[in-house]
Amino acid sequence: MPELPEVEVSRMGISPHLVGQKVRSLVFRTPKLRWDIPVELKQMEGQVIRSISRRAKYLLIETDIGTAIVHLGMSGSLRVLDGFITAGKHDHVDLTLSNGKVLRYNDPRRFGAWLWCPIGESHAVLGNIGPEPLTDEFDAPYMAEKAKNKRVAVKQFIMDNKVVVGVGNIYASESLFSSRIHPQRPACSLSLDEWKTLVAEIKAVLTGAIAQGGTTLKDFAQADGKPGYFAQELQVYGKAKQACPSCGEPIIDLKIGQRNTFFCPICQH
C-alpha cells in the first residue's frame, strides 16, 4: 500500500506537468472505486490547475472552483503520459490536459478514490485527522500529551491518523527500530526524551524515504514509472529471521493491531 512518502513522491512527480495547465477533459472508465466517483468532478473541465498539495495520504488537485481529492488505495498509481497511449485494463481515470498530456490513474484493486470538494467547503475524509509528521506541530510534547493514559501499543499509537497522519506500517517499524523502542510498549510508558527520539526518527525516516523515491514492494512506482529505492535502506521491515544490523540477533515478526511488525528483541526495549 502506498504510504506517505510514496504519495508525496507522486505529488512531486506530477506537479510540474499539471500545475498551470487547463483540464481539457475527465474520463471515468468505472463508476466506482472505493466509493462512487462523483459526477461533480466533471466541473474541472475547462479549469486551470492552480496547485497540487497533499494531506495525509490524499492528493489535492486544486482549481478555482474546487478540489479533486485522490487516494491511491492499496494498489493505485498515477502516470503522466502522452495522450495517444491507449488505456489498459486497470486504467480507470484519465485527466487530459491542454498540453496534450494525460494524468492516468491505474488501480487493479479499485480501492482508491477520486472525490470532489467545492471551493470553500471541507470534505469528511480530511476531517478529524492529526498533524503532518514533517511539520513543527508534530513534536515530542504533543505526542507525550496525546499518549497520556493510552495503554495501546506504541506502534499502533503512531499509526493512528487521529494522532499523526501518514506514519504507515513500514515506517513505523523502521522508526521504532532506529529509536530502540519496543513496538509493544504502551504509548503512555514512553518518557519525554523517548518521544523526542522517536519523533526525530519518524521525521528522518520519512524524509529519507521521500528522497529515495519511496519504497517499492509490489505496487508502487513513481509518476515516471521508475521504482522507489528506499527498500534498499530498510533495516528490519520484511526481514524476519534475518540478522539484526546492530546486534546480529534474528529479527522477529509478529502482528500488532493486525499488521505485521518487525523488530529486534535485543536492541528494542
* Model pLDDT for residues 84-107, shown as the tens digit of each residue: 889 999 999 999 999 999 999 999
Structural domains in the chain plus CATH codes? 4-125 (3.20.190.10), 140-263 (1.10.8.50)
26-84: per-residue pLDDT in tens?
Answer: 999 999 999 999 999 999 999 999 999 999 999 999 999 999 999 999 889 899 888 88
H-only helix segments in 185-257: 192-211
- Rounded to an integer, the average pLDDT of 146-158 is 97
In Å, how far are 59, 74, 94, 96 from 81, measured between CA atoms? 18, 22, 10, 10
pLDDT band at residue 223 using 50, 70 and 90 as cut-offs: low
φ/ψ of 127, rounded to 5, equals -90, 155
- Rounded to an integer, the average pLDDT of 173-199 is 98
CA distance 81 to 69: 20
Q: Is 76 exposed, middle or buried (0-12, 13-18, 19+ CB in 10 A)?
A: buried
Q: Taking the model in full, what pTM does it have?
A: 0.87
Look at residue 6 in the predicted model and tell me its pLDDT: 85
pLDDT band at residue 227 using 50, 70 and 90 as cut-offs: very low
CA distance 192 to 262: 24
* Sequence ranges of the binding site: 90, 109, 150
Return all residues near 44 (Cβ < 8 A) that are at least 6 apart: 23, 26, 61, 63, 65, 66, 68, 95
- Rounded to an integer, the average pLDDT of 214-220 is 43
- Rounded to an integer, the average pLDDT of 179-188 is 98
Question: Facing residues of 261 across strands?
Answer: 254
Does residue 163 register a pLDDT over 70?
yes
CA distance 185 to 181: 8
What is the chain's mean pLDDT, rounded?
91
CA distance 206 to 212: 10
pLDDT band at residue 220 using 50, 70 and 90 as cut-offs: very low
Look at residue 39 in the predicted model and tell me its pLDDT: 95
117-128: per-residue pLDDT in tens?
Answer: 999 999 999 999
Distance of CA 112 to the CA centre of its chain: 12
- Residues assigned a catalytic role: 2-3, 57, 259
Q: Which three cell numbers stand for residue 46?
A: 475547462
Does residue 116 register a pLDDT over 70?
yes
Report the candidate in 71, 77, 51, 163 with the shortest Cα–Cα distance to residue 125: 71
Judge contact between 111 and 73, C-beta under 8 A: yes
CA distance 217 to 248: 24
Q: Which three cell numbers stand for residue 151?
A: 495503554
* Sequence ranges of the binding site for DNA: 90, 109, 150
* Residue 134 exposure: Cα atoms within 13 Å on the Cβ side: 14
Judge contact between 133 and 175, C-beta under 8 A: no
Q: Which three cell numbers stand for residue 143?
A: 505526542
